Amino acid sequence: MARPAVNGVRAEDRRRWAPYRDATVVVTGGNGFIGRAVSSLLIEAGAEVHWISRSAGVDTRVRTHRANVAERDASRRILAQLRPDYVFHLAGRTNADKAYEHVWPTFDTNVAGTLNVLAGTLEANPACRVVCCASMEELWGTTIGASSPYGVSKRVASMYVAMFAALYDLAAMSLRPFFVYGPGRQPEGKLLPYVINELAAGRMPALRSVDRAMDWVYLDDVSRAFLHAGLSGRSPTDDPVDIGSGTLTRIGDVVRTVAEIMGRPLIEAAPVADGQLRELSPAADTSLAHRTYGWQPLTDLRSGLEATVEWYLGQRL
């Protein structure tokens, strides 16, 4: 797979995304990792982009409406005012810790927040198309309760998306990105920012679960998938559509590749310690996204990691 152009939208995508020109588009969580990338593509496509975000906007090209999607009246008021043509619902709490303290926060933001966005959009403009962000965390564990408060909340949110599509004829759908990485601001505790910063400082990162295999998908490819899906009239399935590379790569192998790119000594990943639970993550099934949206990932893992390392090292200058 060829690495996409660093600057700008591909000509093929620019033609395809022509319907976004002059459209009113709301992005919830626009200040987040995926939200900023999706917003940039929408702006390049000519859309008028509005964020619903708890934090102040960092992009002067968009108009930020300060609100928490968990607050029903605030979300509905903003959506009623804007009457958007498209909504990309990317706001959410993403902490996958299993601790009890995360039950209510994830419910309020991920379940109630999604319901508020769906209901507010339906009331503001029933013809609006809505693309929501699901999670690969929904797939872990042998039963839904074996996941985490976050995973359960995302599963329930996806069920609401399917319900609004089936019962109220809202063109709503969910995409399930797998392990998204790439250039762009993420918390320093996230795996790749942590590894890159540690290696840049001359330290070897302390790693756990190095044998865990993940489906790594580049941020630009994920953003393209959201814009492709937004032009689809209906979801092809009640379940979220997988967005990933379709292949699994061990964390230890990814870290070793990052070390090679940075010119550091190779890291030999240690085996999983005795008694440590090895969580198995599935690979994305990208066939449905390809058939329905004409989407496929364009960035191979090595090229994506090179771009990610380059971006983070540039931030350190």
Q: What is the pLDDT of residues 229-246, one digit of tens each?
A: 999 877 788 899 999 999
Q: What is the pLDDT of residues 53-69, one digit of tens each?
A: 988 767 789 999 999 99
Q: What is the pLDDT of residues 17-29, one digit of tens each?
A: 999 999 999 999 9
Residue type, 205: P
The pLDDT of 71-97, averaged and rounded, is 93
155: which 2 tokens? 């599963």
Residue type, 250: R
pLDDT score recorded for residue 122:
98
DSSP track, 164-217? HHHHH--EEEEEEE-EEE-SS---TTSHHHHHHHHHHTT-PPP-S-TT-EE-EE
For residues 112 and 275, give the distance between their C-alpha atoms in angstroms, rounded to a whole number: 37
* Neighbouring residues of 203: CB distance < 8 A, sequence distance ≥ 6: none
pLDDT score recorded for residue 188:
76
Q: What is the pLDDT of residues 108-144, one digit of tens each?
A: 999 999 999 999 999 999 999 999 999 988 876 545 5
pLDDT score recorded for residue 235:
78
For residues 38 and 27, give the distance between their C-alpha atoms in angstroms, rounded to a whole number: 8
Q: Tell me if residue 66 falls in helix, strand or coil.
A: strand
Q: What b/e string do you get for 140-162 counting C-beta neighbours within 10 Å, with b at 16 or more?
A: beeeeeebbbbbbbbbbbbebbb
Between helix 149-168 and helix 113-124 the angle, nearest 10°, is 20
Please determine, for residue 315, whether its predicted confidence score (pLDDT) is greater than 90.
no
For residues 259 and 115, give the distance between their C-alpha atoms in angstroms, rounded to a whole number: 43
pLDDT score recorded for residue 317:
56
In degrees, to the nearest 5, what angle opens at C-alpha 94 toward C-alphas 88 and 95? 175
DSSP one-letter code for 26: E
Greater confidence (234 vs 305) lies with 305
pLDDT score recorded for residue 4:
40
Question: 142 to each of 196, 241, 244, how far by Cα in Å?
Answer: 34, 20, 21
pLDDT score recorded for residue 163:
96
Do 256 and 74 touch, CB atoms closer than 8 A? no
Residue type, 306: E
The pLDDT of 187-191, averaged and rounded, is 83
In degrees, to the nearest 5, what angle opens at C-alpha 45 toward C-alphas 40 and 49? 55
